[in-house]
Structures are given as C-alpha cells and as structure tokens.
C-alpha cells in the first residue's frame, strides 16, 4: 500500500481500478522491412480497427448530440478508405520497403500540408481530418490504445494533465475520479470534476505502473492510496455510503422553491458544456440553464461547426428544457481553450489576448453563423444569448448591430425566430466600472467569477504555483460583485452569477444579501445550494 498527497479539487471518495491515460506519444521510426505484403496486411488490419473505433465514437455521439455532432466520425471513416491516401501509403511501403507506421505518418504529414496550402476553405479544413486519422492509425499500429470510449468499467483516470478538448470527449459515465500530476484547481478539468460530482486530486507524482491497480481517491484528505489494505477499503466504503445517504436527503428538495425563510426567492440554474449534460440539469431539478458553454461544440470538432450542426445542438437543448430558460454563451475560444483550425497565433499572455468576443467581432462570418443558429433555435424554446469578455459599451452596440443584421437576413428568408433576451458576462474590472451603462444596453448580467477573480488579482488561474495566492474570497472581488449587482439593477438589468463562486456555500448568504437575482452552478450543486438558501433568514442580522 502506498499513499500520495496532492491538492483536492472535489471533496468526495472513490474506489476503483486505475486507468492510466497518456497522449499518443508513439515515436515513429523508419524501419526497413523485408516483406511488403506482411506490412500491407498490418496496415489493412489497422484500418479495420480504426474504423471500428470511429464507429463506436459515432454511435456514442449520435446518442449524445445527434446526427450533426456525429457526422465528423462518418467523415473520418470515409477518409480512411480514400483511394489517394491509401495509394500513397501502399506505394511507400512497396517502393521504399518501409514500415507501415512510417508510411502512414509521412503520408499524413504530406496530405495535411497539401490541404492546408489550398485556397478553398473547405479543403483547408480537411488538413486537420487527415492528421487525426493518421494519428489514429499510427496509434493502432504502435499498440497505443488510450481510447476512452473503449472502457468496459468505471475507472479512476490518472494522467499527466488533461486539456479541455480531451475531457469533453470522455465517456463521463465511466469516470470515478481524476488524478493528475499537473493542472490547477481552476482548470477546466477541475470544473468538469465538480460538474460530474466526482473527486479529483492534482499535484500527485503519478506512475504509469499504477495502470490496472486498485486505488482510493480521498477528496477529503487530498490523497491517493494505491493498493489499499482492508482497513482503508472499509473506511472508504463507509465514506461512500455516507455520501450516498446525504444525496438521498438532498433529493427530497426536488420540486421545492429556492426561497429563504423570510421569503427571498432566487432563480437557481445550472451550467453545462454539452447537449448530453441537459440530463443532469433535469435530474438535479435546476430551474433552467444559466450557462451553456457553446465553445465545446468547437472543441469537439475538427473544423468549424456548421450552422445546422449548431442549430441542432441548441434546438435539442431548448426542446429538452421544455420552456425553461436556456442561456447560451457565444463562442469563448482562446486563452486555455485552443482550437487548431482557428489558427490563432501564439501569444505571450493569451488570457489577455485574442479571445472570446474579440474573435467574434473580428471574424464576423464565424460570429454570424453562430447567431443565425441561435436565433433559429429560439423558435423551439426559451433561449437567451450571452456575450463573454466584454470591456466596453461600444462592443455591445457593435454586437447588437450584427445581431440586427442577422435578424433582418432571417426575416427576408422567412425563417422564424423569437426576439431573445440578451446579456453580457461581467468578468473584467473594466466591465464592472461601466456596468451601469452596460445595463442600459442589455437585459441581464452574468458575473463570471473565475475570470473576474483572475483579472482583479492579476493571478493566472491556470498556474498551480499561484494557488496559495489565489483568493476567490478576496475583499476586492466581493466589492466588484456588489458593485455589479447594484449598477445592474440601477440600469434595469437582472444580475446572476455563473462562475465557480456561485456554488460556494460559504458565500451563498453574502450573495443573497448583496441582492443577486440568480445563481447558476454545476448541476450537482443545485440541491446543496437550494438547501443552503432555504436554511437562511435574511431578516436576521448576519
């Protein structure tokens, strides 16, 4: 038995087998082969294995996001059989007497470069597809199998680190806990752990040989126990049972109002990152969706999602919520959420760089495609649109002009839509300072406390070395939140909080006394927050 300490992200306990996840780091070496036929057979077998993997991913995506979201895997299955692509690989194996891994890697590089240099945008987008299928084939040929879709039992996921684009593709029903060596308590992986209500530990010196071993992840003690003894297992099982009992008691709050003892009622919504997360919103009895992070549609794709792909995703969520409010945040790419096909330049300080609304206002074709999809979907439910990373009133006016142009286009084409409510994220000190003026331009504010804290404290929330300096309860942050609520109300906008602080039970009373109208939290926090609100009496002195 070994015990390793780290930093806890979510206070809960999990018991299970470890799955060691590592990115495809197969080193492709050029090897001279004697039998070309044997190598060609290896390549053909790898193709069939890769297509089977893609078929599984397609079927999973079909259930979670529908036809449009699953289409990319169909494209990849077809590209694996492309005659020119296959011909190049086969010719290289036969004429140069090289191993299949090398032939696939070189062909992938050549075709990817060729597509990327074309003038046609559609063909340019195929560069990423060729790269993806080539990496998949090399993984199969090299015996590297880290496909999270192939898990046959729930596991504790151990990894060096996880990017947002990796976490969104995982089968969340098969994850018991996260353990990583790197990462921050404010990273998207940490947010995902809290969303899924599973324990997560960061800063653990991981070992590859743990793969397949039993382990306990103790989110209370902030440690991982490898090959635990009977006593530790019994203690962990008791903690799991106590947690389940607590959850049963919270479920009794389903259907109840989120209202204090003295009659102060607030709206309690949930944050989601995919269409599939809607089930968790309904299961946890949220009143609506306060933040749909639409950028995950882009992170999950190898090219720009089409208008119809986005429309189908938004429409599905709106219909599933059956008239309950669905606030969808427009594209928030950049900073820690990088997407290759956007071809963003490397920046010295990406958190302060070209991201979110700044991309949308300068790449209006991308922005208008999303706005068209959102407005079309509004005809099928109660959708509101929210814009991130606002720093000036002029930005909002530009957005409203673009939105008007899109509405005019839809009217001309006879496409139905509703006159949706619009709002902005308050996540910069600049936005707070002009919040009274901003409120006169929009219907609502949603305070993004993650970035607001980062920019107020001048601390990179992704840097684990700064965790000891990162104080989400800092008086300056709380004063800015108070100012936003007061100015929003003065200007006629309702004000909510959708950042991680919204789920901080220590601050629930503070936020209610500030006058917040809405809290939007990870689905698993809805009932604990409701329980906390219902225990408060704001007529009493705090």
The CATH number that applies at residue 241 is 3.50.30.10
User: Do 368 and 287 share a domain, yes or no?
Assistant: yes
148 inside domain: no
457 inside domain: yes
146 assigned binding-site residue = no
> What's the length of the chain?
542
> Which residue from 467, 344, 307, 334 is spatially nearest to 389, judged by alpha carbons?
334
User: Do 78 and 206 share a domain, yes or no?
Assistant: no
What gap in Å lies between CA 497 and CA 516, rounded to an integer? 8
Which residue, 249, 264, 280, sits at the end of a domain? 249
450 assigned binding-site residue = yes
pLDDT tens for the 542 residues of the chain, in order = 899 999 888 888 999 999 998 765 567 889 999 999 999 999 999 999 989 888 877 776 566 545 544 666 777 888 898 888 999 999 999 999 999 999 999 998 888 888 777 766 556 657 767 887 888 898 888 877 555 556 678 999 998 887 544 555 677 778 899 899 987 766 656 766 776 678 889 999 999 999 999 999 999 899 999 999 999 999 999 988 888 887 777 778 888 999 999 999 999 999 998 887 888 888 889 999 999 999 878 877 778 889 999 999 999 999 999 899 999 999 987 655 666 767 777 767 777 877 889 989 999 999 999 999 999 999 999 999 999 999 999 999 999 999 999 999 999 999 999 999 999 999 999 999 999 999 999 999 999 998 999 999 998 877 778 878 888 899 999 999 999 999 999 999 999 999 889 999 999 999 999 999 999 999 888 999 999 999 999 998 76
230 assigned binding-site residue = no
| Residue owning tokens 């330049």 | 345
| Residue owning tokens 């142009």 | 405
H-helix or E-strand spanning residue 120: none
Here the CATH number for the domain that contains residue 100 is 1.10.274.10
539 inside domain: no
User: Do 343 and 197 share a domain, yes or no?
Assistant: no
262 inside domain: yes
Which residue, 122, 142, 162, sits at the end of a domain? 142
Structure tokens at 199: 């324990």
27 inside domain: no
Q: Which of 45, 182, 188, 211 is catalytic?
A: 188
527 inside domain: yes
Evaluate if pTM is beyond 0.85: no
Q: For position 25, what pLDDT does the model report?
A: 58
What gap in Å lies between CA 427 and CA 203, rounded to an integer? 28
User: Do 471 and 483 share a domain, yes or no?
Assistant: yes
User: Do 61 and 92 share a domain, yes or no?
Assistant: yes
Q: Which residues of 82-96 are buried (b: 16+ CB within 10 A; e: fewer)?
A: eeebeebbbebbeee
User: Do 454 and 307 share a domain, yes or no?
Assistant: yes
312 assigned binding-site residue = no
Phi-psi sector, 33: left (phi>0), alpha (psi -120 to 50), beta: beta
355 assigned binding-site residue = no
What gap in Å lies between CA 72 and CA 70, rounded to an integer? 6
427 assigned binding-site residue = yes
- Count structural domains, the chain: 3
Q: For position 112, what pLDDT does the model report?
A: 84
379 inside domain: yes
User: Do 70 and 9 share a domain, yes or no?
Assistant: no
User: Do 244 and 320 share a domain, yes or no?
Assistant: no
Residue 89 is part of which domain span? 36-142
User: Do 114 and 169 share a domain, yes or no?
Assistant: no
Q: Which long-range contacts (CB under 8 A, 24 or more apart) does 359-367 make?
A: 359/331, 359/333, 359/334, 360/330, 360/331, 360/387, 361/395, 361/398, 361/399, 361/402, 364/402, 366/304, 366/331, 367/330, 367/331, 367/402
Q: Is residue 176 a contact partner of residue 198, using CB atoms and an 8 Å limit?
A: yes
Here the CATH number for the domain that contains residue 283 is 3.20.20.60
188 is catalytic: yes
540 inside domain: no
User: Do 303 and 447 share a domain, yes or no?
Assistant: yes
Which residue, 113, 142, 171, sits at the end of a domain? 142
Q: Is residue 504 a contact partner of residue 471, using CB atoms and an 8 Å limit?
A: no
User: Do 48 and 77 share a domain, yes or no?
Assistant: yes
Q: For position 509, what pLDDT does the model report?
A: 97
User: Do 286 and 264 share a domain, yes or no?
Assistant: yes
The tally of CA atoms less than 13 A away on the side-chain side of residue 492 is 7
Q: Which of 267, 473, 489, 498 is catalytic?
A: 498
Residue 152 neighbours by CB distance under 10 Å: 6
């Amino acid at each position: 038995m070994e015990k390793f300490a780290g930093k806890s992200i979510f206070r809960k306990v999990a018991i299970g087998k470890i799955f060691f996840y590592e990115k495809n780091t197969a080193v492709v070496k050029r090897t001279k082969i004697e039998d070309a036929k044997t190598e060609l057979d290896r390549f053909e077998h790898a193709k069939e294995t890769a297509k089977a993997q893609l078929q599984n991913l397609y079927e999973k995506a079909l259930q979670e996001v529908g036809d449009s979201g699953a289409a990319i895997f169909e494209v990849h299955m077809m590209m694996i059989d492309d005659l020119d692509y296959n011909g190049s690989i086969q010719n290289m194996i036969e004429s140069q007497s090289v191993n299949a891994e090398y032939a696939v890697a070189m062909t992938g590089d050549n075709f990817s470069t060729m597509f990327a240099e074309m003038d046609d945008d559609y063909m340019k987008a195929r560069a990423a597809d060729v790269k993806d299928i080539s990496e998949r084939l090399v993984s199969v040929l090299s015996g590297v199998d880290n496909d999270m879709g192939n898990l046959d039992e729930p596991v504790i996921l151990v990894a060096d680190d996880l990017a947002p684009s990796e976490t969104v593709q995982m089968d969340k029903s098969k994850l018991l806990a996260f353990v990583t060596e790197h990462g921050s308590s404010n990273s998207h992986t940490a947010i995902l752990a809290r969303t899924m209500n599973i324990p997560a530990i960061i800063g653990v010196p991981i070992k590859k040989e743990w793969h397949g071993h039993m382990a306990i992840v103790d989110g209370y003690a902030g440690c991982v126990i490898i090959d635990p003894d009977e006593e530790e297992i019994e203690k962990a099982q008791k903690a799991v049972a106590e947690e389940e009992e607590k959850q049963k008691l919270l479920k009794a709050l389903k259907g109840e109002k989120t209202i204090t003892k003295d009659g102060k009622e607030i709206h309690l919504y949930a944050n989601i990152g995919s269409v599939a997360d809607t089930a968790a919103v309904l299961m946890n009895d949220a009143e609506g969706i306060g933040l749909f992070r639409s950028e995950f549609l882009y992170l999950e794709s190898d090219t720009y999602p089409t208008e119809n792909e986005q429309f189908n995703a938004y429409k599905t969520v709106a219909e599933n919520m059956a008239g309950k409010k669905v606030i969808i945040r427009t594209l928030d790419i950049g900073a820690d959420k990088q997407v290759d096909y956007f071809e963003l330049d490397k920046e010295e300080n990406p958190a302060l760089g070209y991201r979110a609304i700044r991309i949308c206002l300068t790449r209006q074709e991308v922005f208008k495609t999303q706005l068209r999809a959102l407005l079309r979907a509004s005809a099928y439910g109660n959708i509101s649109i929210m814009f991130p990373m606002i720093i000036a009133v002029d930005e909002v006016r530009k957005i409203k002009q673009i939105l008007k142009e899109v509405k005019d286009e839809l009217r001309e084409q006879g496409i139905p839509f509703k006159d949706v409510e619009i709002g902005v994220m308050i996540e910069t000190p600049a936005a707070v300072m002009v919040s009274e003026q901003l409120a006169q331009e929009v219907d609502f504010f949603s305070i993004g406390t993650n970035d607001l804290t980062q920019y107020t404290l001048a601390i990179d929330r992704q840097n684990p070395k700064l965790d000891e300096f990162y104080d989400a309860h800092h008086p300056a942050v709380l004063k800015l939140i108070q100012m936003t609520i007061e100015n929003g109300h003065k200007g006629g906008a309702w004000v909510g909080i959708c950042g991680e602080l919204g789920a901080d039970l220590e601050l629930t009373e503070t936020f209610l006394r500030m006058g917040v109208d809405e809290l939007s939290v990870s689905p698993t926090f809805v009932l604990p927050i409701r329980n906390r609100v219902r225990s408060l009496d704001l007529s009493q002195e705090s």
